[in-house]
A = this chain, B = another copy of it.
Amino acid sequence: MADDQGRRAHTGRRRNEEAARAILRAARELLERGDGAGVSVDAIAAAAGVGKQTIYRWWPSKSDLLLDALVEGARGLAPAPDEGDLGSDLAAFLTATFRGARDPAVAAALRQVAAEAQRDPRAAGLLRSFTEDRRRVLRGLLERAAARGELSPAADLDLLVDQAYGVLWYRLLIGHAPLTEAAAAALAAALARQATASP
């Protein structure tokens, strides 16, 4: 567990990783229990039995903390399948992605970070790199299908990625429809039909 110790001389008390873990755990629990309302840093500190200063010693801002809680909650959902067929790969990936975003803590963190990104350029940058990572995974899946000759030459990979994640974010932030597995499967089928259709 102690792998990133600095190599320079270091005197004084060491940071307590247990405190950081307690903070992350409290953040996830509050995000999960939060009834649509935002989670405050004070509430996280109180729930973790920790001073606010300790939070800001580990994370530079609330958005960083929420994004960390997010990444931890979404762990294992990253890899894109590669079974050699666009339709099934896309269905598997979107189903897993929708399922991850349906987790209450993950959904709340995504929504709160997205909300803060509209005001705070720092949060906007964080969210942007997070989404870029996810885009790259899906784009890789599509590129493999294109290399196999499964896609129409008219297919626009970036637009396909926008359509997939667009539906996810749109439903997540507006809330007019749920992120069900059926919706993921239908979206995968629709995108595969579009990508393979001749212009």
Partner of A194, one of B36, B171, B190: B190
Partner of A163, one of B132, B177, B190: B190
| Distance in angstroms between the alpha carbons of A114 and B118 in the assembled complex | 9
Chain B contacts for A38, CB-based, 8 A: 118-119
* Given contact pairs A118-B111, A194-B194, A197-B197, A127 touches B186 in the complex (Cβ within 8 A): no
User: A135-164: contact bitstring with B at CB < 8 Å (1 yes, 0 no)?
Assistant: 100000000000000000010101110110
**Would you call A6 an interface residue if the criterion is a C-beta within 8 Å of the partner chain's C-beta atoms?**
no
* Given contact pairs A163-B166, A167-B162, A197-B194, A174 touches B128 in the complex (Cβ within 8 A): yes
Interface residues on A, range: 35 or more
Between-chain CB contacts (< 8 Å), 15 pairs: A36-B119, A112-B118, A115-B116, A117-B174, A128-B174, A128-B176, A154-B193, A156-B186, A159-B167, A163-B163, A163-B167, A165-B170, A166-B169, A193-B194, A196-B197
